[in-house]
Structure 1
């Protein structure tokens, strides 16, 4: 369940957020958590948002938001 004042994005909003931006081939989600194929990670995560319930959607949204933060941080450092 979303926290008060938390913006909950739909699968389509995440698709739009990742469309047209430079996506790294792989990334570190958190300390010791490597994602070897970013595009596959995004595709599977969006599929889960479209087909899964809220219980599984919450952690998926957190991971996608974390990836967007990483991409934005990397773009700012360039």
Structure 2
């Protein structure tokens, strides 16, 4: 059996609040195992990679949200 090599550098759980209906959504994103990809919450918040992520509220489909919190999860 072959060992699977992880292609994920880091995993983050974000809490977002919709600008329209104020619904709070939890979303998990995974940073790829690339040299310039963020590997900590600080790097994620400072990166342009986070700004390129898209969002659509599950309640009203509004594409604009406020980031409330970010938590780094363990990559297994």
The TM-score, its normalising length taken from structure 2, stands at 0.28
Structure that is richer in helix per residue: 1
Structure 1 or 2, whichever has the larger Rg, is: 2
| TM-score using structure 1 length | 0.28
